[in-house]
A and B are shown apart, each in its own frame.
Chain A
Amino acid sequence: DVKVTQSSRYLVKRTGEKVFLECVQDMDHENMFWYRQDPGLGLRLIYFSYDVKMKEKGDIPEGYSVSREKKERFSLILESASTNQTSMYLCASRPTQGIWTQHFGDGTRLSIL
């Protein structure tokens, strides 16, 4: 069965810290995504990766960067965490060919104090 695993369900960090959110998929999917989800705003795309070391900015990339050194792993980095980055972060993956549907991890609820 398809599995996308996010390293932490809950995370609390302080303003100014560098924060790493990790996501691993076991399906050999080329495409991976990072979203943030906020009440009333739905899911917003932060970054998208279509292959190892390849990335594209999404709708709200400011304050974030990503790393994809291996096909199965996609990391989201908050360079200097701020309180307005408190949110639910969701990772997803899908193959390039065939089915369009995305497979999601369970999310990381990040609080920046």
Chain B
Amino acid sequence: GAGVSQSPRYKVAKRGQDVALRCDPISGHVSLFWYQQALGQGPEFLTYFQNEAQLDKSGLPSDRFFAERPEGSVSTLKIQRTQQEDSAVYLCASSQDRVSYEQYFGPGTRLTVT
């Protein structure tokens, strides 16, 4: 079956531009996570959805970051007025339900802000 997919795979943005990153989770997966991975570091939690409800956004670095999952499947992470420090790989993961331990990751979107 299809895994988690993300698009675009690579995005170059000029400082100040807005970007939108898309995540298609595994069909039927209830939980969806966004992580940010800086170069040479491990992924860091950004936000969590259970179905369409955003239950935790404590990891979002600033109010320029916004995520949504309006129908409980596809999710979009939006970054407004991008800054150079936003350059990173953005990973999306999904899991079957709230208590499932295993998260399945997508390939990530590499964002470069110039």
Whether chain B is bound by chain A comes out as no
Query: A-contacting residues of B (Cβ < 8 Å)?
Result: none
Query: B-contacting residues of A (Cβ < 8 Å)?
Result: none
